[in-house]
DNA sequence: TATTGTTATACTCTATAACTATA
DNA sequence: TATAGTTATAGAGTATAACAATA
């Protein structure tokens, strides 16, 4: 009897393709909504949501913001620059480490987030949650949360010239 | 007692953010592997996989290829052009409809797909499936398949000047 | 008239490498 | 010497609109 092969079988491959297609279609849908409702890209929304919803202080360091958004440092600088130019965040030197930069969401940023969220959740309801019961949503979160934690802790070993954190 | 609100609650929002982050991180990881192993973008891999793995004939019309890959027609033309230039697909006028174009994967395309897949599944094992049991993978596929079907049938109502299909 | 696909074009985004400044 | 962030630059990808050809 052969060992259980380590390579994904049909079920795993199916889960993978379904995951990627759903996420891709969903991202496309919410990106349109965000663009129309607030002239935001999805990445910009992610950054604002992280500052405005996840962070108690509304502030985070550039390096910490990069985690989970998976960007090159220059890409984050670019996006933060756009948000700052739009008045949605500010950038100041970090208090404890003079090399660091602290990004803080502004009132305008919070206002835009609040303005955009209702339509955003509408899209989520229509596109993602309509075929899912509340229990399904819970099950989905329970399945994906450990994966997210695993991925965060096991970043793709790239030949990157520099490492984050 | 209030009705169950239609807007996503904390559980739904958590599922949504987990889904998007996992898919984003995973895409980033597989994109690197595809680029190194076969000089393919993820979209190009999706197109080749659809032709080489899903389609029995190895052929599909441009319009059908656009479904599920969520592109503008011009974007699909661009990607198909790249694949054709690389000798991975051919484009011919469709037999039944002279307006249509049939895209067919070549032997070289199948060979590249075969060359790239082992490393691809390695990344999947390491990044996505390590924290998931086989039953978890099955559950994930079962949860997401109906969502995918729903999304395919309910495309984002865009103000697009033209509609697909 | 509607649909299929291509082209031209402009724009957004991302990554690499070089650079500055601080730890 | 290593880390935080910026800048310059180049390349890939995407969308819009105008277009040609066929149904």
Handedness of CA B52, A31, A67, A76 (dihedral sign): positive
pLDDT band at B57 (very low <50, low <70, confident <90, very high): very high
How many domains are there within chain B? 1
User: Which of A141, A146, A157 to mutate against chain B (most B CBs within 10 Å)?
Assistant: A141
Q: At what angle do helices A134-153 and B134-153 cross, to 10 degrees?
A: 120
Give dist(CA B31, CA B3) in Å, integer: 44
* A160: contact with B, CB 8 A cutoff: no
Calculate the angstrom distance between C1' of D15 and CA of B73: 9
A154·B127 Cβ contact <8 A: yes
Cα angle vertex B50, ends B45, B56, to 5°?
A: 140
pLDDT at residue B111 tops 70: yes
pLDDT at residue A163 tops 60: no
In this structure, is residue A5 part of a structural domain?
no
Beta bridge partners of A89: A105
pLDDT at residue A157 tops 60: no
pLDDT band at B157 (very low <50, low <70, confident <90, very high): very low
Report the side by side order of strands in the sheet with A89-93: A59-61, A101-105, A89-93
Q: Smallest Cβ distance to B15: which of A8, A21, A144?
A: A144
In chain A, the largest separation of any two C-alpha atoms, in whole Å, equals 64
Residue labelled with tokens 């802790």: A153
pLDDT at A67: 74
pLDDT at residue A109 tops 60: yes
Burial of A15 by CB count in 10 Å (0-12 exposed, 13-18 middle, 19+ buried)? buried
In this structure, is residue B93 part of a structural domain?
yes
pLDDT at A8: 57
pLDDT at B67: 74
pLDDT at residue A4 tops 60: no
On strand C, nucleotides with any atom < 7 Å from a protein CB are: 3-9, 12-17, 21-23
In this structure, is residue A71 part of a structural domain?
yes
pLDDT at B56: 94
In this structure, is residue A156 part of a structural domain?
no
Range of the domain at B26: 13-138
pLDDT at residue A144 tops 80: yes
A141·B15 Cβ contact <8 A: yes
Contact between B165 and B63 under an 8 Å Cβ cutoff? The reply is yes
A156·B127 Cβ contact <8 A: yes
In this structure, is residue A4 part of a structural domain?
no
B47 interaction partners in chain A (CB closer than 8 Å): none
Stretch A36-57: mean pLDDT, rounded? 96
Digit-coded pLDDT (tens) for B66-97: 876 777 899 999 999 999 999 999 999 999 99
Stretch B122-145: mean pLDDT, rounded? 97
In this structure, is residue B120 part of a structural domain?
yes
In this structure, is residue B143 part of a structural domain?
no
pLDDT at B155: 60
CATH number, domain at B112? Answer: 1.10.10.10
In this structure, is residue A9 part of a structural domain?
no
């Amino acid at each position: 009897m052969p060992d259980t092969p380590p390579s994904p079988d049909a079920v795993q491959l199916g889960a993978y393709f379904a995951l990627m297609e759903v996420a891709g279609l969903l991202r496309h849908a919410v990106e349109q909504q965000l663009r129309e409702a607030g002239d935001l890209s999805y990445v910009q929304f992610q950054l604002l949501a992280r500052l405005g919803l996840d962070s108690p202080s509304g502030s985070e360091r550039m390096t910490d913001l990069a985690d989970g958004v998976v960007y090159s440092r220059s890409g984050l600088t670019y996006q933060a620059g756009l948000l700052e130019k739009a008045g949605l965040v500010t950038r100041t030197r970090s208090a404890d480490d003079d090399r660091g930069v602290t990004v803080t969401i502004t009132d305008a940023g919070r206002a835009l987030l609040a303005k955009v969220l209702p339509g955003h959740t509408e899209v989520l309801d229509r596109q993602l949650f309509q075929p899912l019961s509340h229990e399904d949503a819970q099950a989905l979160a329970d399945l994906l949360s450990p994966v997210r934690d695993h991925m965060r802790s096991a970043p793709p070993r790239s030949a990157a010239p520099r490492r984050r954190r």
